[in-house]
Structure 1
Amino acid sequence: MSIEIREAVQKKEVVQFIKFAWKIYRNDAELNKYWVPPLIPDYVKTLDKRVYPLYEHADRALFTAWKNGEMVGTIAAIENRRHNEIHEDKIGFWGFFECINDQSVAKALFDAAKNWLKQKGLNAMRGPISPSMNDQCGMLTKGYDSSPVFLMLYNPPYYNNLTLKYGHYLEQELVAWYVDQQNIDITRLRRIADLVMKREKVNLRHVNMKDFNNEIKRIKFIYNAAWEKNWGFVPMTDKEFDVLADGFQQVADPDFIYIVENSAGEPVAFSLSLPDMNVPFKHVNGNPFTPWGIAKYFWYKRKIRMIRTITMGVIPAYRNKGIDSIMNAETVEVGIKKGINASELSWVLKNNEPMMKLAKAIKAEPYKEYAIYQINF
């Protein structure tokens, strides 16, 4: 039976594109045990070219694969012009990949993405990036025996085989580190943090939610300065950063957001950890806004015992001075007081030696790994 590729254009088709994932995970007891359904309203917004600010400098196409009249796979092709301007290359991206275990279907999906990107004048594609490096990225290759934490992805093991057999090669590896709070010597960590604060003449404070707009400007400055030379990094525009911040504000706990300032009151570092909202989201079946969804959301939200340290940045002038220990000590101490017993540091580039050493220093364990693949054409 031949495979038909269709482009999802209308909103109804986009929702159908998103909901296909349920077929992959709900029909497999082992996958369903750990998979967290995406929030449909959030995905609709992220894919809306009229709303999501990424598309002011990007474009995307959504493709679905059909076999015998039944949908059997999805993929998005993304052109990020801002990425190519900054990195001076011609790379396209693919993401939102879901597929039955059938190489012919995967090939048809990858071909659709490749052909669309080639028409844009690009000569390679990289993924999964859904839809940018500032969103969700990476294909799970290790750590299938636990659910993903907030804003991290989960997929069947066979997705990697489908990707590699198509001709992709491994471009980059990402690591998620698990931190058991009980394994941390908080007394020692606090002593180091206090010494660093005294030596570098810096202070840590919690983010001021009453001055949120100005705090976002300070964080944005650190973010763009700290990650400027990182692999694949693209500075967010003001609109992109504001949309991201607005989304985080809805779920963030200000007790886990820190800014480090020097003696002149200038921001030099920040750390953002978020509660693992996947704990309640796992139970609302993609929509927390139904009466039953709302009830489940608030019931399971009380059971959150883990956070995800999603980003920690230090401007270049203050790197390698132990500033990270200040933020780590505060995260652990606050977590203990609030009943948090674990955290995930993710994601970290596997070749980022300073961050890998930092994770090991606080006795973190690498428990999940992700791959980003690339193919040239």
Structure 2
Amino acid sequence: MRPLDGPASTGALRIEKVEGKAALERFIRVPWRLFKDDPHWVPPLLIERRGHLDPKQNPYFDHARISMWLACRGDVTVGRISAQIDQNYLAHHNDQTGQFGFMDAEDDPETWKALTETAEEWLRDNGIKRVVGPFSLSINDEAGLLVDGFDSPPFVMMGHAHRYYQPRLEEQGYRQVQDLIAYGYDPQKPLEKSVDNLLKRLMRDPE
């Protein structure tokens, strides 16, 4: 949450607004470059990501305004961010809060500063006084920032991050406000006897 009061590539940094299918595809594919050497990253399904950001397929767009940006150095895309204003959220909470999401970028303070300030400016220009996140796009989707457990793959509806994400966001004035916990299960371990008995009963009589 934040009140609204050494680069991996070379070249001058510029921020581009996502407009059109080609730019949206670049936006979707940013993690493929940033996490290509991370053995714990699980690439999302491209067809699912495209549908998630398609106003014709995702009903979230019926009650929210969204803007997205790319950070570029030369012809290399080095980061991305989105900003959202959810009218359903505002109608319920009435607290002039917007959200940011899809925050992925190279490990460079300039890039993180430019992306977050661009999203904050858009929110501020649209009457928002406070920003929380990351939500990609809402709390019902991928929410929160990974701050522990980098040696494990993300589970369903969980995002992934590099260790530098947290300090880079904190440098921009963001602070943690809530813990989100994920539970893992090792399928190689034997089931508890009570669970095993329940599964056997269900298999015998699924009705």
TM-score per shorter chain, which class? Answer: 0.7 to 0.9
CA deviation map 1:314-354 (0-9, x unaligned) = xxxxxxxxxxxxxxx69x8339988xxxxxxxxxxxxxxxx
Higher relative strand content: 1
1:157, 1:108 → 2: CA distance?
Answer: 20
Query: Unaligned regions of 5+ residues in structure 1, if any?
Result: 187-328, 339-377
Q: Which one has the bigger helix percentage?
A: 1
Any stretches of 5+ residues in structure 2 without a counterpart? 1-10
CA spacing shift, 1:337–1:8, aligned 2, 3 Å:
same
Match for 1:2: what amino acid? A
Counterpart Cα distance in 2 of 1:37 and 1:147:
10
- Confirm whether residue 89 of structure 1 aligns to residue 95 of structure 2: yes
Counterpart residue type for residue 11 of structure 1: K
- Using the TM superposition, give the Cα deviation of residue 185 of structure 1 relative to its aligned residue in structure 2, in angstroms: 5.5
**1:38 aligned partner:** 44
Q: Distance in 2 between matches of 1:40 and 1:7?
A: 21
| Counterpart selection for 1:23 from 21, 26, 33 | 33
Equivalent position of 2:120 in the other structure: 114
Q: TM-score, normalised by structure 2?
A: 0.84
How many residues align structurally?
A: 191
TM-score by length of 1: 0.48
Q: 1:150 aligns with which of 143, 147, 156?
A: 156
1:102 counterpart = 2:112? no
Tell me the amino acid that sits aligned with residue 15 of structure 2. Answer: I
Partner of 1:260: none
- Equivalent residue for 1:194? none
Indicate conservation of the 8 Å contact 1:15/1:40, yes or no: no
- Of 140-149 and 48-57, the range deviating more from structure 2: 48-57
The partner residue of 1:133 within 117, 129, 139 is: 139
Tell me, in whole angstroms, the C-alpha distance in 1 between the residues paired with 2:162 and 2:42.
Answer: 13
Number of the residue aligned with 2:24 = 14
The answer for the alignment partner of 1:356 in structure 2 is none
The ranges of structure 1 where at least 4 consecutive aligned residues each deviate by more than 2 angstroms after the TM superposition are 177-185, 332-338
Query: RMSD of aligned C-alpha atoms?
Result: 2.2
Residue type at the aligned position of 1:3: L
Q: Percent identity?
A: 28
Partner of 1:49: 55
Q: In terms of Rg, which structure is larger?
A: 1
SS in 2 for 1:140: coil
d(CA) in 2 for partners of 1:337, 1:178: 23
Report what 1:161 is aligned to: 167
Determine the C-alpha separation between the residues in 2 that align with 1:4 and 1:49. 27
Corresponding residue for residue 71 of structure 2: 65
